[in-house]
Amino acid sequence: MIEIKFLIPTRQGSSGRLHSAGAIVELHRFLEERWGWHVFPPAPGGWRNPETGEVIREESFPYFVAVPEEEVEQVRSFMRDRAKVLFDQEAIYFSVAGKVEIVDP
């Protein structure tokens, strides 16, 4: 099994609104129907916008998921294809077995 970590910011990217409960339900259902996973309370963090150099501070929910190696792409695809709609993010911090990638929806 491979450990995947990803961060879901607590607020939508463009509007700054909290996410709807429905978005979280969809994410959890997707994970629950396939793998074991765990979520932690939101933690503060930040990232630098490569275009403007501005540092954006935000809180995110850290998720840990244990998946067979051949199923890693399913999680990555979900983040890439659904994250923009569900969480309104330009990119999502995503790490596979300690190797960090940024998933760009």
Partner 1 sequence: MTEKGYTYKAYDGRLFYLKGLSGRERKVLAQIQLAYRRRPDWARFTNYWRSKVRQLYRDLPPNERTSTLLYLIGEDLEARLGISQKYFRSSDYRDQLNLLIAERFRSRYAFCRATGLDQGFLSRLVHKSTHISVERLNRALLRIGWELRLARAIKRKSKKDAAEATLVESQLTR
> Does 1 interact with partner 1 (rule: CB under 8 A)?
no
Stretch that binds partner 1, among 34-42, 47-55, 65-73, 90-98 (CB under 8 A): 34-42
Q: How far is the CB of 78 from partner 1 (least distance, A)?
A: 13
Closest CA to 50 of 9, 90, 5: 90
- Please name the residue that has the structure tokens 């793998």: 35
**Residues from 37 through 56 that contact partner 1 (CB under 8 A):** 38-42
Q: Mask: binding to partner 1, 2-21, rule CB under 8 A, as x and -?
A: --------x---xx-xxxxx
- Classify burial at 89, counting beta carbons within 10 Å of its beta carbon; exposed 0-12, middle 13-18, buried 19 or more: buried
Among 56, 85, 97, 102, binds partner 1 (CB under 8 A): 85
* Residue 67 one-letter amino acid: V
Q: Give the separation between CA 101 and CA 6, rounded to whole angstroms.
A: 10
Quick one: 38 or 48, whose CB is closer to partner 1?
A: 38
